[in-house]
Structure 1
Amino acid sequence: MNDTATEVSRTKAWLMAARPHTLPAAAAPIFVGVGLAVHEGLFAPLPALAAFVGAALIQIGTNFANDYYDAVKGVDTDERKGFTRVTQSGLIAAEEVKRAMYGTFLLAIVVGAYLVYVGGLPILIIGLASVVSGIAYAGGPFPLGSNGLGDLFVFVFFGVVAVMGTFYVQAAAVLAAPLALGIPAGTVTLQAFLASLPVAAISTNILVVNNVRDLETDKKAGKKTLAVLIGYSASRAEFVGMLALSYLVPIYFWTSSEFGLPVLLPLLTGPYAVMVARTLLTKTSGEALNPALEQTGKLLAIHSALFALGMVM
């Protein structure tokens, strides 16, 4: 146990493990999924709320899994530049973090049972895949985050699946009978997929900032994140490309006949995005990129809220 463990209370340690600063990644897809559902006349408040609770639990469970598995596998060391990891630092025993991980995923499954009732078999498949992937991100024989697949995992599950799933459960509650075995008409749409792309892109950028910051220490530990595999320049190009995608989608929606000028509200966050991008393009230290990590999370939340508001208006 190092000196950090003697300076942090038990409650604060668990908050550090849960990483509340990552929760915009759980809230953002709900904003967008609800905004699109309101626009389509398919808003259903209880399924939307359950989707948020389930998404938040999966996010926290994934954070616990990452903390636990990176510590027991020796990926996290004292050289790490990022926020304190509670398992590696000795703040919380490894077995306790492991139990918290499984308990959180179990709660997500309990919440998911209601969503399965609303959305049927497709939600059961999506929910189980999300839980398994959350564990497999850092654990198992082929951890996704340590083999260059973390960015794809975040893009798909915290972006596309999360937004389309939020829209789906609301549409299913309005348009279909409970416990559907197939996909009811009107519940999976091209618009829902396109609306998910900004959330997917900025959520991925949270991971890009994290992995650029940790590139050297991850390389030493043998953790092959995408940033380790492609290097600083390509990772920075990925960040800029994801930002571009997140701003092109609202412009595309505006060009359609269904949405008006307010759908361009996310463009107001452009200067903030440029500020964060400038930091990533020029810095590698934890002192610079830890704030940039939190700022990218804030960008995700604000961009998504404005996009949802624009679709509603």
Structure 2
Amino acid sequence: MATVREWIEGARPRTLPNAVSPVVAGVGVAVALDAFSWVRSLLALLVALALIIGVNYANDYSDGVRGTDEDRVGPLRLVGSGTAAPKAVLTAALASLGLAGVLGLVLVAVSGQWWLLIMGAVCLLGAWFYTGGKKPYGYYGFGEIAVFVFFGLAAVLGTVYVQAGRISWIALGCAVAVGAFSTGVLTANNLRDIPTDVEAGKRTLATRLGDTGTRRLYLTLITVPYLISLTFAWSDHPMAVIGVISAPLLLQSVRAVARGKTGRDLIPALRDTGLAMLLWSVATAITLSL
């Protein structure tokens, strides 16, 4: 039976910045639009956290029962390592996704934007079918697109919309930036896993692009947010250039990716990319608020 510590590790806490960052960026935009709401912001954060934990447990379960995680390099996989029973992990996944659904329903009710129920349903389906079902889209190279859409566009713009009832070009810029960062985290993960994914028949975008192409994609993705910061600074928010203070956090990751590091040497890239995304979001949110 898995311990509490192992369940926490299985939830992949290093991915939590992917849930927190879009809400933080969205809150900054909402403040700039004079539409900030503590209640709606908190609900959006709880939805995002429950959703990403549910995705992680669902991924652990689906990959584990398929045997994809048997030789995985990286953090603990509950099912693949035999630490927890598949049924228990499935229950945790469904409970987390169910909680995300309930909290999302409350958020929609509070905001009065009932059409967002459709987006919420799409997010829940996307979370499950990433690696679940007979033909998971994550096994066919669409995982990066889904992460960009769900943890970039949907999360940031949704956070803004439930508060302001509208979006702005600044909101769209933040959504693209956070989506690029978040996709960068997955790209670094899939770069590390290319050998085992190829062996398991998991056709991620990384296995399709190959080692060199995936490294180029990662470097491109982490450049996008800083170009957006400069664009903000050039327009109506000169202080937004402060977002570049997160760039030094990526130096180790850039070196590892650019120099062809593999396996466990790429694990820090996931952590550092997530932390850079969080710092960029906090810094940008503060400047937009001011």
**Residue 253, structure 1, aligned to residue 232, structure 2:** yes
| SS at 2:79 equivalent | helix
Instruction: Please say if 1:46 is aligned against 2:16.
Output: no
Partner deviation per Cα, 1:137-196 (whole Å, 9 max, x = no partner): 110122121110000000110011100000011113xxxxxxxxxxxxxx1333311221
Is contact 1:81-1:285 (8 Å) kept?
Answer: no
Aligned to 2:80, the other structure's residue is in SS state helix
Asked if 1:224 corresponds to 2:203, the answer is: yes
The verdict on how the C-alpha distance between 1:223 and 1:124 changes in structure 2, with shifts beyond 3 A counting, is same
The answer on whether the counterparts of 2:62 and 2:132 sit within 8 Å (CA) in structure 1 is yes
Alignment: residue pair count: 289
CA contact (8 A) 2:6 2:76 kept: no
Q: What residue number does 1:183 align with?
A: none
Indicate if the aligned counterparts of 2:25 and 2:285 stay in contact, CA closer than 8 A.
yes
* Contact 1:115–1:123 (8 Å) recurs in 2: no
| Bigger Cα Rg | 1
Secondary structure of 2:36's partner? Answer: coil
* Equivalent AA in structure 1 for residue 248 of structure 2: P
Amino acid at match of 1:134: A
The structure-2 alpha-carbon separation of the partners of 1:37 and 1:202, relative to structure 1 and needing over 3 Å to count, comes to same
2:83 counterpart of 1:94: no
> Structure 1 residue 113: deviation in Å?
1.4
Q: Partner of 1:286 in structure 2?
A: 263
Q: Percent of counterpart pairs with the same letter?
A: 36
Using the alignment, how far apart are the partners of 1:227 and 1:53 within structure 2? 31
Q: Which of the numbers 168, 171, 177 marks the counterpart of 1:189?
A: 168
Q: Which amino acid aligns with 2:102?
A: V
Q: Is 1:154 paired with 2:133?
A: no
Per-residue Cα deviation, 1:231-285 (whole angstroms, up to 9, x for no partner):
01111111111112111111111121x31x3211111222322331111222443
Match of 1:120 in 2: 113
Compute the displacement of 1:120 (Å): 2.1
Which ranges of structure 2 fall in alignment gaps of 5 or more residues? none
2:15 pairs, out of 16, 22, 27, with: 22
Q: CA deviation at 1:212?
A: 0.6
Moved more, 293-302 or 153-162: 293-302
| 8 A Cα contact 2:156 2:174, kept in partner | yes
Q: Distance in 2 between matches of 1:294 and 1:133?
A: 24
1:298 equivalent among 275, 281, 286:
275
1:188-217 per-position Cα deviation (integer Å, ceiling 9, x unaligned): 333311221110001001001100100001
- CA spacing shift, 1:193–1:15, aligned 2, 3 Å: same
> Would you say the 8 A contact 1:201–1:243 is kept in 2?
yes
Alignment counterpart, residue 130 of structure 1, candidates 123, 134, 139: 123
- Cα distance in 2 for partners of 1:170, 1:127 equals 16
Q: 1:90 Cα deviation (Å)?
A: 1.1
The equivalent position to 1:105 in structure 2, one of 88, 97, 104, is 97
Q: CA deviation at 1:119?
A: 4.1
Question: After superposition, what is the alpha-carbon deviation per residue over 1:58-103, rounded to whole angstroms, capped at 9, x for unaligned?
Answer: 00000001100001111111x2212120111111100010011111
Residue of structure 2 equivalent to 1:262 = 239
**What is the distance in 1 between the residues matched to 2:234 and 2:84?**
52
TM-score (norm 1): 0.89
Alignment equivalent of 1:166, drawn from 159, 167, 191: 159
2:112 and 2:156 map into 1 onto residues whose CA distance is 14
Query: In 2 relative to 1, CA 284–215 (structure 1 residues): closer, same or farther, beyond 3 Å?
Result: farther
The secondary structure found in structure 2 opposite 1:154 is helix
In structure 2, relative to structure 1, the CA distance for the partners of 1:284 and 1:80 (3 Å cut) is farther
Contact 2:253–2:268 at 8 Å: present in 1 too?
Answer: no
Match of 1:84 in 2: 76
Task: Check 1:119–1:143 CA distance in 2 against 1; reply closer, same or farther (3 A cut).
Answer: farther
Root mean square deviation of aligned Cα? 1.3
What secondary structure does 1:87 align onto? coil
Tell me, yes or no, if the aligned pair for 1:44 and 1:171 is still in contact at 8 Å: no
SS in 2 for 1:89: coil
In the aligned structure 2, how far is the partner of 1:188 from the partner of 1:141?
37
Residue pair 1:51, 1:115 contacting (<8 A) in 2 also: yes
1:119 and 1:68 mapped to 2: Cα distance? 35
1:109 and 1:127 in contact (8 A); partners too: yes
8 A Cα contact 1:57 1:108, kept in partner: yes
Q: Is the CA contact 1:80–1:217 (under 8 Å) kept in the aligned structure 2? A: yes
